[in-house]
Structure 1
Amino acid sequence: MPSYRAVLQITGLRPGNPPESVMRTAVQALSSIHLVEANQLDVVARVPVITLRFLVEASTDSAEDDQALQASAAVRDAVEGVASTGRLTTLRRRGGKWLFVG
C-alpha cells in the first residue's frame, strides 16, 4: 500500500476552537477514508504546519495519486471548520524519498 503525506499550513484558529482541535479534526477526517500512520505539528518560518502520513489502497499510480489528492482535500475541508489554512501539499513515498504529487 503506497504511503502519502498531506502537509497543510494553519494560518489561524476560528473563534471558539482550541489549538488541539485542528489535529483532531484532521485525523478524524482522514481516518474515515484511509489508514493514518502518523501525524505531527511543526512550525516552519513561524507558520504552524500539520503533516499526516496515510496509506491508500494499491491500484495504478495515477489512481493512487488521485485518491491521495482527494484525501488531502478532505483534510483541508474538515480543518477549515476550525481553522484558516494556507498551502496544502500532497507527497508520495517512493524509493525512500517523498515526491511531490500536488
Structure 2
Amino acid sequence: MPSFRATIQITGLRPGHAPAEVMDMAVAAVAAAHVVEANQLDIVAGVPRITVRFMVEASEFDAENLLARKAAAAMEHGVNTVATTGAVRTARRSAGKWLPL
C-alpha cells in the first residue's frame, strides 16, 4: 500500500480545547478511512507542526493520490474544529523520498 503524509501548522487553539486534542483530531480524521502509520509533533521556527503518516489502499496512481488529498482535507477540516491552522501539505513516499502532491 502506498504511503502518504499530511502536514499542517498549528497557529493557535480554539477556546475550550486542550493541546492534545489537536493530534487526536488529526489522527481520528485520517484513521476514519485509512491506516495511520505514525504521527508526530515538531516545532519549526517556533511554530508547532503536526504530521500524520498513512497508507492508502493500492489502486491506480492518480486515484491513490486523490484519496490521499481527501484524507488530508479531512484532517484539515477536523483540526480546524479545535485549532487554527496554516495550509495542509500532502506528500507521497516514492523511492525513499517524500514527493509533494
Aligned match of 1:65: 65
Aligned match of 1:29: 29
The alpha-carbon deviation at position 91 of structure 1 amounts to: 0.4
The alpha-carbon deviation at position 96 of structure 1 amounts to: 0.5
> Residues of 1 paired with 2:36 and 2:53: CA distance?
6
Which structure 2 residue ranges, 5 or more long, are not aligned?
none
* Identity between Structure 1 and Structure 2 (%): 56
Deviations, residues 42-98 of structure 1 (Å, cap 9, x unaligned):
011111100000000111110000000000000000011000010210000000000
> Residues of 2 paired with 1:46 and 1:88: CA distance?
18
Aligned match of 1:41: 41
Amino acid at match of 2:53: R
| Segments ≥4 residues shifted beyond 4 Å | none
Amino acid at match of 2:88: L
The alpha-carbon deviation at position 29 of structure 1 amounts to: 1.0
Amino acid at match of 2:69: L
TM-score, L = length of structure 2:
0.98
Question: What is the RMSD of the two structures over their aligned residues, measured on CA atoms?
Answer: 0.5
> Residues of 2 paired with 1:87 and 1:10: CA distance?
9
Aligned match of 1:56: 56
